[in-house]
């Protein structure tokens, strides 16, 4: 096993060892060699003063790279500790999108105090990137891209990239623009490397390219990156000028954020904000994120109470009905949640659209009909064989009561599947996010419909009210 094939835990060990043995020079050298997240993991355990002293030991470019990977809280704290000239140097070498996010975290006074120290280019970049709402392509894009002109030869293009590129982290696509920044297409660095130096950029140009609009929703941008397997997508303004790019790493973050949102909505928890962390979030905020749905649904539970009150005559005669009420409610909730989850996921993966709602509802009816037979059979045998005979009024057999309850539960399963599948489709059709039809909401709704079904069937077949 070679020393240089180390997973990240070993990278931490390398840093710890050098630190403990006081080999500061070698340690700082490692800051330049190791993957940034490993260096950041090591540094974030140190005190602010230590972090600053380490940062001073690495060159400006590495300062910007490492600083960009710190948590936003640490970035802000460092900004408040360092003098403005130093911050300006770090700003010059940070990733443009992270720099803009940091700038927005500063107070108005801090922003105004810092601006005169920034290079003109950095200042403009920060202000422009801060202007877009965070949910849009503009809000997540960066400006770390390389451009060439259509009329250039390959050799000229390579020379321009050599001149422009050192500050950019990764160069994969080279964007081809005209003299007013209107995007004409792209070439890959590989294309340029493989091409005859005397060839024209226009000969290599991919002019049919996928792009995002600057105001486009970030989820749609992430979906394009995924669909077209892009390493980065160019972002254009309404004049078709290239204003930024969104990388595949940003797409992954957007997708994770959206997935967390979906999951939380399904569970009736208010969506987390960007980067919200369980442990760091206060108890009060956790409480606030859950209380609305919980109390709201509990309040709706009053309807169940009213229905039960309405049918108390039936319940008094057939106390056995009370015994199967919880199973009725939970089976309905489970069926509805299953159907809703499957539909919401299929909608968000683009496997189905709300236009197909008739087909989907019929499919759910078929599926739930099969499920209802199983659940009804189980219920029937449970009732007949466990037979709490003492609970029956005279003149009724356990098998007839079993049939009644089983029939009610079979109807409940089909109804719940249709409600669970139908609600997200309706919400999508109205233009909303289907995941807002939280699983607790569906459970509460099918509790109510379930009780109505249960007591209607019971009073019809058993002849009491």
Positions in 27-66 near a second copy (CB under 8 A): 30, 33-37
Query: Can you tell me the distance from the alpha carbon of 220 to that of 251, in angstroms, rounded to the nearest whole number?
Result: 10
Q: Would you state the torsion angle of the CA atoms of residues 133, 135, 136, 142, taken in this order, to the nearest 10 degrees?
A: 80
90 and 56 Cβ atoms separated by less than 8 Å: no
Q: Strands of 183-188's sheet, edge to edge?
A: 146-149, 173-177, 183-188
Rounded to an integer, what distance in angstroms lies between the CA atom of residue 127 and that of residue 407?
A: 66
Q: 7-24 b/e with 16+ CB inside 10 Å = b?
A: eeeebbebbeebbeeeee
The count of chain residues that interact with a second copy, using the rule CB under 8 A, is 134
CB of 420 to a second copy, least distance (A): 9
Q: How far is the CB of 148 from a second copy (least distance, A)?
A: 13
User: Which of 48, 60, 112, 210 forms a contact with a second copy (CB under 8 A)?
Assistant: 210
DSSP state of 177: E
Q: Give yes or no for residue 154 binding a second copy (CB under 8 A).
A: no
Which residues, numbered 212-241, are part of the site for a second copy (CB under 8 A)?
A: 224-229, 231, 236, 240
Q: Tell the smallest beta-carbon distance from residue 15 to a second copy (Å).
A: 11
Rounded least distance, CB 158 to a second copy, Å: 7
Please list every residue from 134 through 153 that binds a second copy, using CB under 8 A. none
Residue reference for tokens 């891209």: 145
Bridge-partner residues for 212, per DSSP? 235
Asked if 307 and 448 count as a contact pair (C-beta separation under 8 A), the reply is: yes
If the CB atoms of residues 116 and 390 are measured against a second copy, the closer one turns out to be 390
Query: Which listed range, 46-54, 70-78, 86-94, 184-192, lies at the site for a second copy (CB under 8 A)?
Result: 184-192
Q: How much is the CA Rg of the chain, to the nearest whole Å?
A: 31
Q: Which DSSP helix (H) or strand (E) runs through 429?
A: helix 398-429
Site string for a second copy, 376-415 (x = CB under 8 A): --xx--x---x-x--x---------------------x--
Nearest distance from C-beta of residue 117 to a second copy, angstroms:
29
Residue of 69, 63, 221, 258 lying closest to 132 (CA atoms): 221
Contacts of residue 85, defined as CB under 8 A and 6 or more positions apart, other chains included, come to 117
Q: CB-wise, 87 or 427, nearer to a second copy?
A: 427
Enumerate residues 307-346 that contact a second copy by CB under 8 A: 308-309, 312, 315-316, 319, 322-327, 329-331, 333-335, 337-338, 340-346
| Residues whose CB falls within 8 Å of the CB of residue 235, separated by 6 or more in sequence, listed in order | 137, 138, 141, 211, 212, 213, 214, 221, 242, 243, 244, 245, 246
Nearer to a second copy, 51 or 146 (CB): 146
Nearest to 204 by CA among 212, 213, 215, 193: 193
> How many C-beta atoms surround the C-beta of residue 249 within 10 A?
12
Angle at 138 between CA 148 and CA 97, to 5 degrees: 75
- Choose one: 43-51, 148-156, 359-367, 395-403; the region binding a second copy (CB under 8 A): 359-367
Single residue of 274, 283, 389, 431 touching a second copy by CB under 8 A? 283
- Least distance from a second copy to the Cβ atom of residue 457, Å: 17
Part of the chain binding a second copy (CB under 8 A), chosen from 42-50, 130-138, 296-304, 426-434:
296-304
Task: Give the shortest CB-24-to-a second copy separation in angstroms.
Answer: 18
Contact range with a second copy by CB under 8 A, out of 79-87, 290-298, 423-431, 456-464: 290-298
Nearer to a second copy, 75 or 338 (CB): 338
Q: Quick check: 355 binds a second copy (CB under 8 A)?
A: no
Q: Which is nearer to a second copy, 116 or 350 (CB)?
A: 350
- Nearest CB to a second copy, comparing residues 200 and 363: 363
Binding residues among 238-277 for a second copy as defined by CB under 8 A: 240, 247-249, 251-252, 255-256, 259-260, 262-264, 266-269, 277
Residue 130 or 387 having the CB closest to a second copy: 387
Q: Considering only residues 64 through 123, tell me which ones interact with a second copy, judged by CB under 8 A.
A: none
| Residue 147: DSSP 8-state | E
Helix, coil or strand: residue 438: coil
201 binds a second copy (CB under 8 A): no
3-state class (DSSP) for residue 83: coil
Q: Which two tokens stand for residue 105?
A: 């975290």
């Amino acid at each position: 096993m070679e020393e240089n094939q180390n997973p990240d835990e070993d990278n931490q060990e390398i840093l710890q060892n050098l630190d403990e043995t006081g080999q500061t020079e070698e340690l700082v050298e490692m800051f330049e060699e190791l993957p940034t997240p490993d260096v950041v993991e090591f540094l974030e355990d140190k005190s602010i003063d230590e972090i600053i002293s380490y940062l001073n030991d690495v060159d400006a470019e590495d300062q910007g790279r490492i600083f960009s990977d710190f948590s936003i809280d640490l970035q802000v704290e460092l900004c408040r500790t360092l003098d403005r000239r130093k911050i300006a140097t770090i700003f010059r070498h940070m990733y443009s999108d992270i720099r803009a996010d940091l700038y927005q975290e500063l107070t108005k006074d801090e922003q105004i105090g810092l601006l005169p120290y920034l290079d003109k280019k950095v200042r403009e970049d920060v202000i422009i990137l801060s202007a877009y709402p965070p949910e849009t392509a503009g809000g997540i894009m960066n400006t770390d891209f390389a451009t060439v002109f259509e009329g250039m030869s390959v050799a000229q293009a390579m020379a321009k990239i050599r001149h422009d590129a050192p500050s950019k982290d990764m160069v994969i696509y080279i964007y081809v623009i005209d003299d007013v920044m209107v995007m004409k297409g792209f070439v890959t660095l590989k294309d340029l490397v493989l091409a005859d130096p005397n060839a024209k950029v226009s000969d290599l140009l991919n002019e049919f390219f996928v792009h995002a609009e600057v105001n486009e929703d970030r989820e749609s941008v992430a979906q394009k990156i995924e669909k077209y397997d892009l390493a980065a997508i160019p972002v254009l303004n309404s004049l078709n000028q290239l204003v930024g790019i969104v990388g595949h790493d940003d797409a992954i973050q957007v997708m994770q954020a959206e997935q967390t949102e979906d999951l939380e909505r399904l569970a009736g928890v208010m969506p987390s904000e960007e980067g919200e962390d369980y442990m760091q979030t206060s108890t009060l905020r956790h409480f606030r994120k859950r209380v609305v749905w919980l109390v709201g649904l509990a309040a709706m539970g009053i309807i169940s109470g009213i229905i039960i009150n309405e049918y108390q005559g039936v319940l008094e005669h057939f106390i056995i009905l009370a015994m199967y009420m919880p199973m009725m409610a939970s089976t309905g909730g489970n069926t509805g949640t299953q159907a809703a989850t499957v539909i919401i996921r299929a909608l968000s993966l683009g496997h189905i659209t709300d236009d197909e709602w008739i087909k989907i509802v019929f499919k759910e009816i078929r599926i739930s009909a099969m499920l209802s037979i199983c659940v009804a059979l189980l219920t029937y045998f449970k009732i007949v064989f466990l037979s709490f005979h003492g609970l029956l009024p005279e003149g009724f057999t356990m098998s007839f009561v079993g049939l009644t309850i089983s029939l009610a539960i079979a109807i409940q399963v089909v109804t719940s599947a249709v409600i669970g599948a139908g609600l997200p489709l309706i919400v999508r059709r109205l233009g909303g996010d289907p995941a807002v039809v939280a699983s607790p909401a569906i459970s509460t709704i099918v509790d109510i419909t379930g009780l109505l079904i249960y007591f209607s069937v019971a009073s019809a077949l058993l002849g009491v009210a």
